[in-house]
Every structure is written in C-alpha cells, then in structure tokens.
Structure 1
Amino acid sequence: MTADAKAQKRQRFEDVFPAIRQELLDYLAANGMPKDAIEWYGRNLDYNVPGGKLNRGLSVVDTAEILKGRLLTEQEYFRAALLGWCVELLQAFFLVSDDMMDQSITRRGQPCWYRRDGVGYIAINDSFMLEAAIYHLIKNHFRAEPYYVHLLELFHETTFQTEIGQLIDLITAPEDHVDLSKFSLQKHKLIVIYKTAYYSFYLPVALAMYMCGLAHTSTPSTDPYELAKSILVPLGEYFQVQDDFLDYAGTPEQIGKIGTDIIDNKCSWCVNTALALATPDQRAVLDTNYGRKDAQAEARIKALYEELGIRQRYAEYEEAAYKRIMGLIETVPETPSADGQAVLKKEVFKSFLDKIYKRQK
C-alpha cells in the first residue's frame, strides 16, 4: 500500500471520531452535567484518544473488509470504525493510568495527561471515564445484535488480561528497585502475552469477526475464535520481542525515539536472553549496571549485549517465529463462503505478519 493510500485510510478512520466524541458529550449534557464538566471530558478525549498510531483501531476495519471480501458499506464502515475507536479508548485508558503508575514525563511527544496544569490525580477518574465510554457506545450501537454480549465479554476479559499482565510487570520490574533474579524468559513471555498480545492483536480481530457474523462452534478445536487466538497471541509475542530488540538496536532516527529499556529496568527480551546466556562474570556486569540512571552503566550493558551476540540471537528468533506463525496460519481451513457469509481467512493473519516481519521501527 502506498503512503498516500495509508494516509487516506487513516484520515477516513479519524473522520469518525468527532461523531463518537459528540455522542459521549451529548450523554453528559442529557444528564444535566455542568458545562465545565462537559468541556473537561472533551479535553480528556481529545488529548488522550486520537493521537497515536491507531493501528489497533484500524485493524478492526481492515479485518472486517478482509472477512467480508469487499469494501464495507457506509453503515458497516461506521460500525467497524466505532469498534476500532473503542479499542483506542481502551488503549487511552491504559496509557493514562500507566503513565501515572510509571510517573512518566511525556507521551506521544507531549506532557502526560496527569502532568497537565490542573489535572494531577483527577487523571485517575479521567482514565475510568475513557474506559466507561466503551460500554456506553457498544450499548448504543450494538444492543440489538445477537453478538452484543460477546462484545461486552470480549472487552471485559481482554481488559482483565491486560491488567494481570501489568501487575506481573510492575512487581517484577519496578523502576526504582532492580532485582534480576525475578527476571526470566518465561516471565517475559507471560507479561507480553497478557499485557500486549490479547488487547493489541486478538481483540481487534475478534471484534471484526463478531461484527461480520462469525459464530462460535461447540468444540474448541474447530472454533474460529480459538483458532484466531492461537495465531494472534504468538504474533503479539513476536511483535513485542521485536519492539524490545529495536529499543536496544534501533537508532532514534529509525524508531522515532531514544531506547530506554535498559535504564528503566524493563523486563525486556534482550536482558532475559542475556541472563540465560551469561557467565557468572557477565551476570555480575548485568547486576551492577542494569536499570541504573547512568549513561556509562547503560553503555556497559549494550557492550555486553554485543559480546553475547544478542543481534544474532534475535535474527534467529525472528526467523523461527516467522516460520512458526506461518505454519499456524496454514492451519486456517479454506472454507468457501456460503450465501455471502463471512468466514475466517488466512489473509487476516498474513496481513498482520507482513506489517511486522523485518520491521525497522
């Protein structure tokens, strides 16, 4: 897809947001909320929801189009985009609260919401209001659908999974207390699957599947949702390992930011791989220097990563992950569509994998 086509696709998706924003503000107004509360909520929505890459939200629309096998009608597009914006609201809820937990300074190139003048701890309630908007919108637009409860359960389940992942991450790798004995590749895998893979990969696809009328089956081995999950969770894991590697190996010009995983004591794939490979002397270097707010300590960790061949280890991991995921995609049955009904297609997963494989940013 050309850069121009991507920009047009993003713009069409962004054009749906003002209507969703207005619907939420109208709800406050209809309930007699004062003008300053309505304006505050509008600022909260504007500041925290539309500014990111929007990959998760756009994935709902992309998946719906693949499943339908055609361009969506205007009504179908709006409903798919609305579900996409619900994913972005969930993302905003996570980020606003996460930034407070981490005491982060900036997000998306501007001060974190809680650091804005006059916001502070009100951001806790603001994050709740971003989450609550999801269920208000789904009720307004999907209550009459047979899959309405599936949408609710999917969002609730995915939110809980992500919060479990966040808990494991917070108690394993607090920024102000380094204890590498808590780290392991297995712990990393658990954090990644729960904190990232479910909401970033499975959630958008499953939403599109429900909207397109794909039904559950009584046996898990043939259920399209279980099949989708079995592919998308490993795909999400691969994406995060790739992200961890780029934080260490990518240049700021390439990835658009300065990598901070080492100084922030992140339970990254790189440090966990290093821990698995390190000699006692190398382990001592990791214990002494990892998670320190010190450029020289960070440089020592990077030098150790080079010594341990982390780049080559990653290249081997990436090829193995690609082959494994392609193998999983091949298990998707080529079921012919009957009476125009949507069926699960390999292309859904291949489109994700193509965007990720060998990415440099």
Structure 2
Amino acid sequence: MSSKVDAKAQKRQKFEAVYGKLRDELLEHFAAQGMPEDAKEWYRRNLDYNVPGGKLNRGLSVVDTVEILKGRTLTEDEYFKAALLGWCVELLQAFFLVSDDMMDQSITRRGQPCYFRLEGVNYNAINDSFMLEMAIYHLVKSHFRAEPYYIHLVELFLETTYQTEMGQLIDLITAPEDHVDLSKFSLKKHQLIVIYKTAYYSFYLPVALAMYMCGIAHTSAGSSGPDAYALAKSILVPLGEYFQVQDDFLDFAGTPEQIGKVGTDIIDNKCSWCVNTALAHATPEQRAVLDASYGRKDAQAEARVKALYEEMGIRKLYEEYEEGAYKRIMGLIETIPEQPTTKPGEVTLKREVFKSFLDKIYKRQK
C-alpha cells in the first residue's frame, strides 16, 4: 500500500514541478509588457494562491490519459506538454472557483480563506479570475501554435467554459442560498446542472485534450466506428454525473474524517441529488417537512432533513443508483472496439482510459 502512496506522491510532485515553470513563464511575459513590480507580485500571489492547492485530479488526468493512449512512458517533451494542458485545466478550475466563491459569498476554500476575502483583494478578485482564465490561452498559444490540433484545443477550452457557465446559471437561479423554493428542484434539473456545471470540464475536457495531443482523429474510435470524441463524451458525461451524485451523497452520509469537511448542502439550499431523490419519493407529510426545514440556517432544521433522509432510505436508494450507474457506464465502455485496426504509429481510443476513471470513483469514500 505504501509503495502505491509513494508512487502517487511522486506523480504529483513531478506534475507540480511543471507548475513552477509555467508560473515563471507567465510572470516573465507579464513583466515583458512593462508591468510594474507591484502588479507582478499581485499576479504571482493570484496564481500561487488559487491554482496549485487542490487535489489536481483534473490536471493529472490529462497526463494519465496521454500515457494510456500512447501505451508507453512519455518523453520529456511529451510529459511537459501533457502536464501543461493539465495545468490549463487547473487554471480553468481556479477561474471558476474564485468567481464561484464570490457569487456564493463563501468563507473558506481548500482549508484557507477564499481569495476575495484576503486583505485588500475584495472585488479585485473579479479581474484576477479573468487573468487566470486568459493565462490558459497564452500558454496554449506559446506551446501549441504550430500543432495541427491547436485550434481544437482553443475551441475545446472555449466551448467547455461556456457549458460550465450555462450550468452555473441554472444552479444560481434554481437554488439561491437565501431563497428556498423546492418546487424549482427536480432530478431532471439536477442532472442538467451536473452535466453542464461539472461533467464537461472535470471529465470530458481532460480526456479530449489528451486525445487531441495524441493525434486522435474525429472518426478513429475504431476503423469504421463512431466519432471518437462523441464516443468519449457519451461515456465521460455519465461518469461525471455519477461522480457528482456520489459527492452529493457523501456530503450527507460521509463523516468529516472521511471527506475532509463538514457537509453543508442541506443548510446551503443546494440542488443536491439527495433532496431531489427525497422530493421524488416524498409523501405529502414528508414534503411538508422538507419545505419547512431545507435550506434553513438552523441545526435543528438540518437534523430534521437528515432524519427524513434516513427514514426514506436514501442510503439504499443511493446504493441502487450506484450499482445501476456502474453497470451502465461499463456497458458504454464495452462499446469501444477492443482491437481497432490501426496504421503504424496511429493512436486510437482505449477502454483503459475510462476504466481507470471508473475504478478511481466506484465506491469511493471521500
């Protein structure tokens, strides 16, 4: 077990070393525009505070996927390029989180104060979030401008950003923290929010970036199979949906020791899988309890909702959902041709890419 942990730590360390190079490159470019020293230091703090601190799963997924698709150890240049695209996903995540925390007026993020709450930052964080986003396009242009797939990378980042913003809009107007209206909630609405707000950028984006970098064409899932990117999306979107449902369930059922935080979805009026499932199964009496107690800043109201979840068997309903999702996703993975005919040196989609994602998620506890 410890060797597995060591390997994971080494992988993360190698990936983090690339961040230092990219940050210095961004700061050098910034200084070369004649920007003053205090602005450069501000930009450095913005990058260091917001980009490298998370789990880095999305960024590392790009590297892992390139390695699986190529089926060998990457050269130094290939690793750098894959890690660079991985850090661009992390920059996108940082842009979303800085702005999301302001919209939600959140207190902490990753165990420290939200960026906009730092002394002197406040609404400057709006511009800082824009700078995190634009750093992506500067890096991609600097390192991939000559590649035939350059425009695909740019369009993919732009399209994914737009999709995530669409999901954020539905989430913001469906579940504002200060106005509870459960009639706006439904499992269908939850699914739409999750797909647009999470699945596209967290699951499809890293894999599609890796596919472009490996030179996978738009029709090479198999020699005459469907479009490889459409096939990847058809598996990764349900995978992302399953991941978020799991996250919602763990917010209710996981202990702080397990998930590293105290669950707040009930108090925060989140349009979570748990409440939507409860609404779909509630008797009129149970619905009345939910209407009176959900989204209230009150520990007793939260306890009433939790008790209702237990009474309605949310744990059992989640187990059934998880088994169904696992079987459905495995079935989709099996539609990828096992041994597609390839020309020498051609890279095609592999089942292992998706199985590695599913293995990391299935029955996770945190």
The residue aligned with 2:350 is 345
**2:362 aligns with one of 334, 357, 360:** 357
2:217 aligned residue:
215
User: Where does residue 313 of structure 2 map in the other structure?
Assistant: 309
Aligned equivalents of 1:88, 1:348: Cα separation in 2: 20
Normalised by the length of structure 2, the TM-score is: 0.97
Q: Is the 8 A contact 1:336 1:343 kept in 2?
A: no
Aligned to 2:263: 259
Q: Residue 199 of structure 1: CA displacement?
A: 0.1
RMSD over equivalenced CA pairs, Å: 1.2
Provide the C-alpha distance between the structure 2 equivalents of 1:42 and 1:359, rounded to a whole number of angstroms: 35
Q: Check whether the contact 2:220–2:348 (CA below 8 A) recurs between aligned residues.
A: no
- Corresponding residue to 2:302 among 298, 320, 323: 298
CA-CA distance at 1:339 after TM superposition: 1.2
For the 8 Å contact 2:88–2:136, the answer to whether it is kept is: yes
SS at 1:359's partner residue? coil
Q: Name the residue aligned to 2:10.
A: 8
The corresponding residue for 1:243 is 247
Q: CA deviation at 1:221?
A: 6.4
- Between 1:329-338 and 1:121-130, the stretch displaced more is 329-338
Report the equivalent of 1:46.
48
Provide structure 2 residue ranges, at least 5 long, that are not aligned to the other structure: none
Asked if structure 2 preserves the Cα contact closer than 8 Å seen for 1:264 and 1:292, the reply is yes
The one of 139, 142, 146 equivalent to 1:140 is 142
Give the SS at the match of 2:120: coil
Verify: 1:200 aligned to 2:205, yes or no. no
- Alignment pair present for 1:225 and 2:229: yes
The amino acid of 1:153's aligned partner reads E
Q: Which residue of 2 is the match for residue 279 of structure 1?
A: 283
| CA distance in 2 between partners of 1:218 and 1:2 (Å) | 34
Deviation at 1:338, TM superposition (A): 2.8
**Where does residue 22 of structure 2 map in the other structure?**
20
Amino acid at match of 1:322: Y
| Structure 1 length-normalised TM | 0.99
| Sequence identity percentage | 82
What one-letter code is carried by the residue in structure 2 that aligns with 1:271? V
Whole-angstrom CA distance in 1 between matches of 2:144 and 2:36: 29
Provide, for residues 14-59 of structure 1, a one-character-per-residue CA deviation record: whole Å limited to 9, x for no partner: 0101110011001111110011111100000000000000000000
Local SS of the residue matching 1:29: helix
Whichever residue aligns with residue 36 of structure 2, its letter is: P
Deviation at 1:341, TM superposition (A): 1.8
Comparing 307-316 with 1-10, greater Cα deviation is found at 1-10
Given that residues 220 and 228 in structure 2 are in contact (C-alpha distance below 8 angstroms), is that contact kept between their aligned partners in structure 1? no
> Deviation of residue 243 (structure 1)?
0.3
Quick check: 1:90–1:130 contact (8 Å CA) kept in 2?
yes
The alpha-carbon deviation at position 217 of structure 1 amounts to 2.6
